């Protein structure tokens, strides 16, 4: 059975709740508080019509979920993908709550999605779909209420349409209603690289902690989209050798090292990494099991499972994607001494710079890329060390350490605020 089939069988929402339960048990959370945090606060499902280029009308289904608003407005991306489901969106919203708490930024977790394959839409159809979907979920959205951002298959252009749609409805420009916008419309410098940059900051810290020399390390990257391709470039800039990468169609490997800039150009030109000169074509699953020091899963959920966790050869697994490892696989990796940097820490660079973008928008300010990267590094390094301390203190893996920090912070805020009315 392929990795994709296994991923489809695993329910992301059950995984998210399982991860939460592990932390709640250790924290001895109050049962009532536990019940509150175990479920999302709001789930909105919308069915909305879009006029297609041929004149026909199609109806699409979309979701917006807010998990917890105890620490601030909801924050989280919107994905356009044919496999989006309400359970996936609920899981991603819960993960966003913990992610914001782990790096200490004042947001709660939200997430959205539309069931659509955007590659099958024209630019005009994509714009119509984006604007109409945003109009439908607008009952929940606002710069002080819920601030969406890009995710799988959504771009700065789509964020610009979202922002314009909201602004047209209120009658003035509101740049702070979404993040991940083009720079010309109030986007932040460094936002495009933020997820990957935060991931690499945590890898550098992990390598130092483990006494690994990055310049002698090999890296495999699963997923060659925004996060994966930029992480590959940044880790190569740290002196590491990237030996394998994959995208949604296939993977490539060269144990002597890949020239990442050339792979990026090849992918732009051919739409896939497959067939890259001087590398062997391999499957997505083989990229995960490649002989390497650092593995960066940067694709979708549930890629490392109980079935393949025993075959992972890396010393560090850095989760640039959301939820790539199942709880069963976590136990196997931990027992094998593999150091895992969990998603809610590893890929929190994206939401951290989204937070910077929002602050800049609310203050009508603009920071340089150097300022953004310096602030990001400070936050990521601090969060990494806090999680490491927690993991050591409780003798648990890094994921549980991250959850202990995050859940405690959200629980404290929720308890302090109390139940209204």
pLDDT recorded at residue 227: 92
Instruction: Tell me which DSSP letter residue 52 carries.
Output: -
Show the domains of the chain with their CATH numbers: 42-184 (3.40.50.10860), 192-346 (3.40.50.720)
User: What pLDDT is attached to residue 9?
Assistant: 73
Burial 24-43 (b: 16+ CB within 10 A, else e): beeeebeeebbebbeebbee
The rounded distance, in Å, linking the Cα atoms of 41 and 111 is: 12
What do you get for the CA distance between the two ends of the chain, in Å?
A: 51
Helix (H, G, I), strand (E, B) or coil at 118: helix
Identified catalytic residue from 75, 90, 99, 111: 111
Mean per-residue pLDDT of the chain: 95
Contact criterion met (CB below 8 Å) for 184 and 178: no
Residue 111 annotated among the catalytic residues of the structure: yes
Contact present, 1 and 302 (Cβ < 8 Å) = no
Q: What pLDDT is recorded for position 2? A: 56
Contact 328, 143 (CB under 8 A): no
Phi, psi of 236, rounded to the nearest 5 degrees: -65, -40
- pLDDT one-digit tens code per residue, 350-362: 999 999 999 999 9
Whole-angstrom distance, CA of residue 332 vs CA of residue 104: 29
Largest CA distance in the chain: 66
* pLDDT tens digits, one per residue of 156-209: 999 999 999 999 999 999 999 999 999 999 999 999 999 999 999 999 999 999
Per-residue pLDDT, 129 = 98
Calculate Rg over the CA atoms of the chain: 20
Measured CA angle at 185 (ends 182, 187), to 5 deg: 50
For the cut 60, the answer to whether the pLDDT of residue 293 exceeds it is yes
Percentage of residues in the chain having pLDDT higher than 70: 98
Answer for the pair 154, 148: CB distance below 8 angstroms, yes or no. no
**Alpha helical stretches, state H, 299-342:** 327-335
Task: Specify the DSSP element, H or E, that contains 166.
Answer: helix 156-170
Q: How does pLDDT run across 111-163, given as a tens digit for each residue? A: 999 999 999 999 999 999 999 999 999 999 999 999 999 998 999 999 999 99
Q: Average pLDDT for residues 234-258, to the nearest whole number?
A: 95
> Which value, to the nearest 10 degrees, does the dihedral of the CA atoms of residues 368, 370, 372, 373 take?
160
User: Do the Cβ atoms of 231 and 346 come closer than 8 Å?
Assistant: no
Please give the model's pTM, rounded to 2 decimal places.
0.93
Cβ atoms 86, 331 nearer than 8 A: no
Q: Which single residue is written with the structure tokens 């409805």?
A: 169
């Amino acid at each position: 059975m392929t990795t994709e089939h296994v991923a489809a069988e695993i329910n992301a929402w059950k995984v998210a709740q399982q991860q939460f339960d592990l932390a709640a048990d250790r924290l001895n959370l109050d049962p009532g508080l536990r019940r509150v945090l175990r479920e999302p606060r709001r789930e909105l499902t919308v069915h909305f019509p879009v006029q297609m280029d041929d004149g026909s009308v199609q109806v699409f289904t979309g979701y917006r979920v807010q998990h917890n608003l105890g620490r601030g407005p909801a924050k989280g991306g919107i994905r356009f993908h044919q496999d989006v489901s309400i359970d996936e969106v609920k899981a991603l919203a819960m993960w966003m709550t913990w992610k914001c708490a782990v790096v200490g930024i004042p947001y709660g977790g939200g997430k959205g999605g539309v069931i659509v394959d955007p590659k099958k839409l024209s630019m005009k159809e994509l714009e119509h779909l984006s604007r109409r979907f945003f109009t439908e979920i607008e009952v929940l959205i606002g710069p002080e209420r819920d601030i969406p951002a890009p995710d799988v298959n959504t771009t700065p252009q789509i964020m610009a349409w979202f922002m314009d749609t909201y602004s047209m409805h209120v009658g003035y420009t509101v740049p702070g209603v979404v993040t991940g916008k083009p720079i010309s419309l109030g986007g932040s410098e460094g936002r495009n690289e933020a997820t990957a940059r935060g991931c690499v900051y945590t890898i550098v810290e992990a390598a130092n902690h483990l006494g690994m020399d990055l310049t002698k390390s090999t890296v495999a990257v699963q997923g060659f989209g925004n996060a994966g391709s930029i992480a590959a470039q940044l880790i190569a800039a740290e002196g590491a050798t990237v030996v394998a990468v994959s995208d949604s169609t296939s993977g490539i490997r060269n144990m002597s090292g890949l020239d990442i800039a050339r792979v990026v150009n090849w992918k732009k030109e051919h739409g896939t990494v497959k067939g890259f000169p001087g590398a062997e074509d391999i499957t997505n699953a083989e990229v995960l099991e490649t002989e390497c020091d650092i593995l960066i899963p940067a694709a979708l959920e549930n890629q490392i499972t109980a079935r393949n966790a025993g075959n992972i050869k890396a010393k560090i697994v850095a989760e640039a994607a959301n939820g790539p490892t199942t709880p069963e696989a976590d136990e196997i990796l931990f027992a094998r001494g593999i150091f895992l940097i969990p998603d809610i820490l590893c890929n929190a660079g994206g939401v951290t710079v989204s937070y910077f973008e929002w602050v800049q928008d609310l203050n009508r300010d603009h920071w340089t890329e150097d300022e953004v990267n310096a602030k990001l590094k400070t936050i990521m390094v601090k969060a990494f060390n806090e999680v490491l301390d927690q993991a050591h203190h409780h003798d648990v893996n890094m994921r549980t350490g991250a959850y202990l920090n995050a859940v405690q912070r959200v629980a404290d805020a929720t308890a302090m605020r109390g139940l209204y009315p």
